[in-house]
Each structure stands twice: as C-alpha cells, then as structure tokens.
Amino acid sequence: MIAGKIFYRGEFVEAGIEVENGRIKKIGKLVEGKKVKGVILPAGIDVHVHLRDFAEKEKETIETGTLSALHGGICLVVDQPNTKPLVENAKTYFQRMERAKKSAYVDYSLNLALTNSNHEKLGEIVRKISEEYFIPAIGEIFIQHESEDLQIDYETIRKVHEKVGGVVFTVHAEDPAYVAKGSPNFVFRRREAEVLAVEKLVEIGDFHFCHISTKDSAKRILNSNSTFEVTPHHMLLSVDDYGRLGKLVNVNPPLREKEDVRWLFRNFHRVDTLASDHAPHTLEDKEMGASGFPGVETMYPLLVNIASKGYISFKSLVEKIASNPARIFGFKGYGGIEVGNFANFAVFDLKNTKEIKAEELHSKCGWTPFEGFEAIFPEKVYLRGEEVLEGEAKAGNVLEVGNFKNVRKSF
Ligand code: DOR
Ligand code: ZN
C-alpha cells in the first residue's frame, strides 16, 4: 500500500494505492499506516531522448541516460535513432533493444529512423520490428541535417507517410531554405525555418512535431490534427541566456526571443507533450559547436517547482508529461494513476526546493544549461510498485524492456 496525497483524475486526493503484480489494483480510502511525505504524481514519460551509446559512449550510454531519467522521475523514455550507427533497420533496432534489456534503469522504447537509404523499405522494416517490439514512432525525421542520409525532402516524407500506416511520425521541423549546412546555430531568420517547415508538413498529413519553439508554428499546429511537444529549454531559456551559456549555447532549434518563450510558457495548457530532447554532448564537443542540451533529469523537477509556485497547474503538468504522451504514442498501462495501470509514481516534497548542480546529475555528459535553477527533485520513485529510488537507485532494479509486446498496435 502506497498512501498519501495522490494526484488522481485532475486533483490531489488523500488515498491509498494497492499494487498487485506491478499494477494498480485499487485506489481507495486512506487506511491506517505510514503516509508518504509529499505529493504522489504519476512518473513521467520522456518521448524524446538521445541516449547515444554504440560508438558514442563517451557522451552517454543507455545505462547512464536511463539512470538520469530515473532520478528525474521518468519511468519511460523513447530513444531517438540518430545514433552511430543509425537505427535504420531491424538488425540495429534489435541490437539496441538487447543492449537496453541489459542496462536500462527505466522502461525503454526506441524510434526507427527514416533515411534516404531505407525509405523504400520502411513498411517492411516496421512490420519486422513489430513482431518483437512496440515501435512508438518513425523519427526524429530531419528536414534539414548535416548528414545527407538524414536530411529527408518533403516529397519522400509525403510518400512514406501515405504508405506506412499505424505508426506516429515525429518530425524535427526546420526548413533547409533557412539553415544552410555548416551554418552557425543562430543565423538570421532561423525562426522562419521552423514556421515554414510546419506550414508545409501540416499540408502533407498528421505528425507529432518535436520541440516546437515559436508561437507561429505552435498556433499553426493547434489548427491542425497534428500534435506537438515543447522542451523545458524553449520554455525557460531565451536569447538572453547566450552570454551565460557561452560555448554551451548551441541547440536545434535555437533558443528564441522572449516573445516566443513567453507565449510557450503562457500557453502551456495548449501544448500536447513535454519532452526534453535530452541531447548529451561532451564539453569538448560543445567547444567545437555541437548542438544539444541534456535535460531528461531536470525536466520534471523544473516543472514541478514551477507548478508548486502556481505558474502552471499540476493538472496541465501531468497531462503533458504523462497522460498525453501515453495516449499519443499508444503506451498502454502508462500515463496516470488509474486502476490497471503500472504502479509508476514519482513523489515530490514540494518544500524541498534545490538548486540544480551538474555535478549531482547522473548523465555522463557532466553539464546542464540549467545550472543554479530552482527545481524539486523526486524523493522517491516507484516503478511497478517497487521503490527504486531512495537517495540512490538500487542495483538490481533494472527493468525489462520489450514489455510492449502485449500491447502492440496492429499494422
Ligand atoms: O540540438 C539538437 N541536438 N537538436 C536535435 O534535434 C538533435 C540533437 C542531437 O542529437 O544532438
Ligand atoms: Zn532530438
């Protein structure tokens, strides 16, 4: 029995949760016994992380990235396929899932890449993988990329989108007209790159848009059947942080002017999902201009702190970090504290505000763009009813992956 102040169907209630075989059996009246200190929220889902590994272990591994996720109250991550080698065929997909089975601290899922080499066989590859695993999405699909193989033109996206059904397409919407290869990160009219790509893509079909960072593209998506995510860095940081971040500042899409940042913050309730775009690069790579911010561990804590101060509601936060990602990507058993769902909870003591310090985080990359920001980290994390975080993650609580076999959508 886990008891205390539980976030249940949009509000906090004093209740007790009975767990059986890792799932919530009953949510009922608070019975006598020890109450958990703080509020009990559903553990989060981060549908956009880059856990590197393979040939880039110096940046991050599935092990360190998921440990970081666990300490940030996240119970399920969706890893992106722009790894070295790319996850563009069934063989590499299976290899990576095997690796995750051995080393993931939280539930792990993986997107399949769309490349110029695999687009004609994509349907076949999806079918093959789907016999073994649940594929949440194709993507992150790039319209602009330094690598020729990853930069996909609109016509190819249209064809593949029409042909391959039953799976979400997630896109990194930045049009190459405004972002030439090798151009500096913060170039004039970079903002239009996102707006134009969104304009073109919503005409093609329904997508899930990664890390939307401008109010114009957000508004356009709100007028369509597509969905979109925002990152904490596009909600909380702006061009004003360029000086403070120095060499760390590069990220795609780039940090925006205050007007966009304010809009995203104020319209948080209209956003579909929060995602970190956890993109760990070593400090040496950042010095050389690499783009990306780590963030899987700080996302929920930053936003819980903001919710505790009343700037956003807990209802919105839980929707964006748990229920909406579960619904959009089809993760059955996740998304909220409901009978039948996995007993995945994150417990936050709303009085325990701390400053974020890179040295206390668990990502291998060793830095954060949120150094010194206030956050509320989880005191406890429960995965399938087991307390896996009590100051330190306990060894032996690595969760099995591949557990989506039974909840697979049909293709
Ligand atoms: O800044 C970014 N870095 N944006 C992306 O979309 C990809 C990511 C990466 O993989 O490093
Ligand atoms: Zn990304």
DSSP for 111-135 reads: -B---TTTGGGHHHHHHHHHTTS--
Cα separation, 176 vs 311, in Å, equals: 36
Residues whose CB falls within 8 Å of the CB of residue 281, separated by 6 or more in sequence, listed in order: 59, 290, 291, 292, 365
Atom 5 in ligand 1: residue holding the nearest Cα: 252
Q: Which domains does the chain have, with CATH numbers?
A: 45-333+351-375 (3.20.20.140)
Could you tell me which residues come within 8 angstroms of residue 133 by beta carbon, excluding any fewer than 6 positions away? 93, 97, 109, 110, 402, 404, 405, 408
Distance CA 327, CA 307 (A): 22
Residue 249 in contact with residue 230, Cβ under 8 Å?
A: no
CA 216 – ligand 1 centroid, Å: 22
Whose tokens are 């949120």? That residue is 370
Task: Determine which helix (DSSP H) or strand (DSSP E) holds 368, and give its type and residue range.
Answer: none
Ranges of H-type helices in 18-89: 62-71
In angstroms, what is the span from residue 223 Cα to ligand 1's centroid? 27
For 172, the token pair is 């990194």
Instruction: Give the neighbor-by-neighbor strand order of the sheet with 273-274.
Output: 137-142, 168-172, 208-209, 227-230, 273-274
Regions of the chain where pLDDT drops below 50? 391, 394-411
Distance CA 166, CA 386 (A): 33
Whole-number pLDDT of residue 390: 66
DSSP letter string, 185-206 = SS-TTHHHHHHHHHHHHHHH--
Give the pocket of ligand 1 (CB within 6 Å).
Answer: 50, 82, 172, 251-252, 277, 279, 291-292
Tell me how far the alpha carbon of residue 253 lies from the centroid of ligand 2, in angstroms. Answer: 9
> Where on the phi/psi map is residue 406: left (φ > 0), alpha (ψ -120 to 50), or beta?
alpha
Mutate to test the pocket of ligand 1, among 86, 277, 278, 288 (most ligand atoms within 8 A of CB): 277
Rounded distance between C-alpha atoms, residue 208 and residue 169, angstroms: 6
Nearest-ligand number for the alpha carbon of 143: 1
The radius of gyration computed from the CA coordinates of the chain, to the nearest angstrom, equals 20
Which of ligand 1's atoms lies nearest the C-alpha of 82? 10
Site of tokens 């076949």: 124
277 is catalytic: yes
Do the beta carbons of residue 176 and residue 157 sit within 8 Å?
A: no
Closest CA to 6 of 25, 33, 29: 29
Residue 99: its H or E element: helix 90-103
DSSP state, 60? -
pTM of the model: 0.95
Active-site position among 107, 277, 285, 349: 277
The C-alpha atoms of residue 282 and residue 364 are separated, in whole angstroms, by 8
Ligand whose nearest atom lies closest to the CA of 285: 1
In the block, tokens 């930045």 appear at: 174
C-alpha span between 61 and 67 (Å, rounded): 10
Residue (of 51, 73, 143) closest to 364 by Cα position:
51
φ/ψ (deg, to 5) at 265: -65, -50
> Among 163, 136, 143, which residue's Cα sits nearest to residue 81?
136
Please report which ligand is nearest the Cα atom of 78.
Answer: 2
- Placement of tokens 């080499």 in the chain: 117
Q: Is 2 left (phi over 0), alpha (psi -120 to 50) or beta?
A: beta
Atom of ligand 1 nearest to the CA of 291: 1
Q: How far is the CA of 89 from the centre of ligand 2 (A)?
A: 19
